[in-house]
Amino acid sequence: MQKRRSHKKSRNGCQNCKKWHTKCDEQGPPCNNCTLRKAQCVYNRPKANSSNDRCPLTVRSKDGGAELWPVTVERPRGDVGALCGAYGGPSRLMELELMHQWSTNTYKAFCGIPEDGEYLQVLLPRFALEYDYMLNCILAISSLQIAKLVGDGNATKYINAGLEYYNRGSSSFRTQLCRMNADNCHVLYMFSAIAIAAQLSIPHRSGSILDLLIVALDLVNGSTSIGMIGMPWLLNSPFPLRLFISRMGASKDLIDPDSRFALARLHAINDQRNKDTSESASSDGEEADGVLLVRDHELYHMSIEGLEMCFAEEARGVLRGFSTAFPGLAGKPFTSLVSRSDPFALLIVMHWAALLNQLDKSIWWAQSVSEDLAMEIAGILRTRHPDLALEWAEPMEWVLNRLALSIPQSRELSYSSGSSGSSGLESDCWEVT
């Protein structure tokens, strides 16, 4: 009797190969055996180690400082092949659909200048064939865009596939980040930028758009760190960053008078509340309902100036979608204030939401969060800081009017530079209809 040849077991093979007791190449779906037998190939791989999926990314700068990159999202069970099999259609057909979506539509959401078009539509997909994390990122954001376009009834397949691709890409990205060099720097940077859009596009079970934004703000800080560390490489890469930077510099005079008045009002509030504070972001604050109110005039001033720059660039219209860069312009100390629900930082973000709502509809991932973000911040200020909400009635009303969100007209909301306790208005007059 001929002795049976020994072979290594296939521990992650498809269901058919396990049933047939044949060695699976684990390259599917479909694998080679299922292709030859014209059978439906379905994998049932075990859930990945949670410690790997939930580990935040750490970006270290030249001076040793660390930046956390939280990339964990809630993912469906199984791999893309199993997900697609459950909803019909092999994964390779879906990937073809997603690449078509990217090359005809999705890439436009990230074009700041006309020269970005060729890079994003043609060059980046070619680089993605060399860097799997970028390929998965492209597939993820394209899938999430389709999910928004097809509506709730048919979105589940694309949302689940988008989450799976996003987590695949994030895992590989964390591994490759420590190997950044002149060749892959622009690819790593683009992954970090598109990951922000993906994070804001992912349905969130908690229902809080602000929680979603806080994670996205941390991603912005990570992306900014990559940009600063790899700036010499980026300027000489295929990514036309040098052209983008050369076209910055819009005059604040381009801002419409109404918006200019609203921004000047933010400066006035900052002067009134924080004029006598030190420039240190760690200056002493006051405790209110468990929230540390940081009083730092310079920090808020820089954030408002960054917002003014965004308003000016959007008014000029040369750098499309420039306002999405506001968190990077405001800096990490400001985003830390937002994560702690600092009331004045939230008021500034509320004005940013009004600007996001004016973006081109093709920048769908940013425009879609503006109304919910402004409404949620208004609710937080009303419930947690009712005195400040009454004091800031006019700036809050300005944002809501810009977003065409109605406020009950039975009671007027007035702005008072003094104590709001004498106004006689009750907090329920802020109920948004």
- Work out the burial of residue 331: count CB atoms within 10 Å of its CB; fewer than 13 is exposed, 13-18 middle, 19 or more buried: middle
CB 267 within 8 A of CB 305: no
Query: Which spans in 285-369 are helix H?
Result: 297-316, 326-330, 332-339, 343-356, 364-367
Q: Which of 405, 306, 394 is nearest to 354 (CA)?
A: 405
188: DSSP letter: H
* Structure tokens that stand for 340 in this block: 């702690």
**How far, in Å, CA of 371 to CA of 361, rounded?**
14
CB 282 within 8 A of CB 313: no
* Structure tokens that stand for 370 in this block: 């503006």
Whole-Å CA distances, 33 to 10, 49, 95, 262, 310: 13, 28, 21, 66, 56
Residue type, 195: A
Per-residue pLDDT of the chain (433 residues; tens, 9 = 90+): 555 555 555 667 888 888 888 888 777 778 878 877 778 888 875 444 444 444 444 444 444 554 444 444 444 445 555 555 554 444 788 899 999 999 999 999 999 999 999 999 999 999 999 999 999 999 999 999 999 898 777 888 899 999 999 999 998 898 888 889 999 999 999 999 999 999 888 876 556 888 888 888 888 888 888 889 999 999 999 999 999 999 999 999 999 999 999 999 999 999 998 876 544 444 444 544 444 455 588 899 999 999 999 999 999 999 999 999 999 899 888 988 999 999 999 999 999 999 999 998 889 998 888 898 999 999 999 999 999 999 999 999 999 999 987 554 333 333 333 333 333 323 333 333 3
* Structure tokens that stand for 221 in this block: 């800080």
**How far, in Å, CA of 208 to CA of 346, rounded?**
14
CB 400 within 8 A of CB 432: yes
Listed in sequence order, the residues at least 6 apart from 259 whose beta carbon sits closer than 8 Å to its beta carbon are: 311
**How far, in Å, CA of 381 to CA of 370, rounded?**
17
Whole-Å CA distances, 270 to 49, 182, 277, 306, 393: 47, 42, 11, 14, 15
Residue written as token pair 């791989």? 45
Per-residue pLDDT at 204: 64
- CA dihedral of 224, 229, 231, 232, whole degrees rounded to 10: 180
**How far, in Å, CA of 184 to CA of 209, rounded?**
33
Whole-Å CA distances, 277 to 136, 299, 309, 313, 340: 47, 10, 24, 31, 19
* Structure tokens that stand for 52 in this block: 């790997």
Q: Which of 307, 299, 304, 303 is nearest to 275 (CA)?
A: 299
Query: Which spans in 357-406 are helix H?
Result: 364-367, 370-384, 386-391, 393-402
Per-residue pLDDT at 92: 80
- HEC letters along 242-266: HHHHHCCCCCHHHCCHHHHHHHHHH
- The SS3 of residue 197 is helix
Per-residue pLDDT at 406: 58
CB 43 within 8 A of CB 12: yes
Query: Which spans in 119-235 are helix H?
Result: 124-128, 132-150, 156-177, 185-201, 209-229, 231-235
291: DSSP letter: E
Per-residue pLDDT at 85: 52
User: The pTM is what?
Assistant: 0.70
